[in-house]
Amino acid sequence: MELGIVGLPASGKTMVFNAATRGNTSNGTGMADRANVGSAKIPDSRLNRLKEIFQPPSTVQAEVRYIDIPGVPQELGGSEGIAGQYLNMLERVDALVLIVRAFKDDTVAHPLGSIDPHRDLATMQMELAFADLNILERRLKRLTDSMKSAKTAQRDVLKKEENLKLRLLVLNQ
């Protein structure tokens, strides 16, 4: 499983990443423009018990990969949605871990000027929703274009997908 850790700059993303991976990173660059990738084995006492019973030649623990996605793009909060390379990173993970800043530290400025975890969370959720809507709209356009040249059997499948996407689009408005 891959989890993407996202949040505003100086929110504590990298601290959560380091705590989750215990320093087990594949690149460990710490560079602001590159994602840090790390992993953590998931301890499971049931696996240990099965290992004792069956004595296999090797045992593989479940593992979670964490991706510390670099700071959010400048347009965040502008109701444009997330796009480009940042969106590509978000689309590749299985789940997102949203980190919001709730600590006060006068030496670390908040990018929006004040500490408000509820505002920051709402902003991130809104931007993710706008990104989802943009993806739906692009897919609907491609479906419409595809239906023009599709054969009858294929057109039925495309029409079902189009109806589903339209329902999703209406639910989100």
Full set of structural domains in the chain with CATH: 2-171 (3.40.50)
pLDDT greater at residue 3 or residue 84: 3
Q: Which of 27, 32, 4, 26 has the alpha carbon at shortest distance from 16?
A: 4
Q: What is the pLDDT of residue 156?
A: 87
Residue 143 has pLDDT above 70, yes or no: yes
Q: In this structure, are residues 7 and 100 in contact, taking their beta carbons and an 8 Å threshold?
A: yes
Residue 18 has pLDDT above 60, yes or no: yes
Confidence of residue 39 (pLDDT cuts 50, 70, 90): very high
Residue 9 has pLDDT above 70, yes or no: yes
Q: What is the pLDDT of residue 97?
A: 95
Q: In this structure, are residues 55 and 89 in contact, taking their beta carbons and an 8 Å threshold?
A: no
Confidence of residue 24 (pLDDT cuts 50, 70, 90): low
In angstroms, rounded to a whole number, what is the distance separating the alpha carbons of residues 103 and 33? Answer: 24
Confidence of residue 74 (pLDDT cuts 50, 70, 90): low
Within the chain, where are the H helices? 13-21, 45-54, 84-91, 117-149, 152-171
Determine which of 12-16, 137-141, 168-172 has the lowest per-residue pLDDT on average: 168-172
For the chain, percent of residues with pLDDT exceeding 70: 86
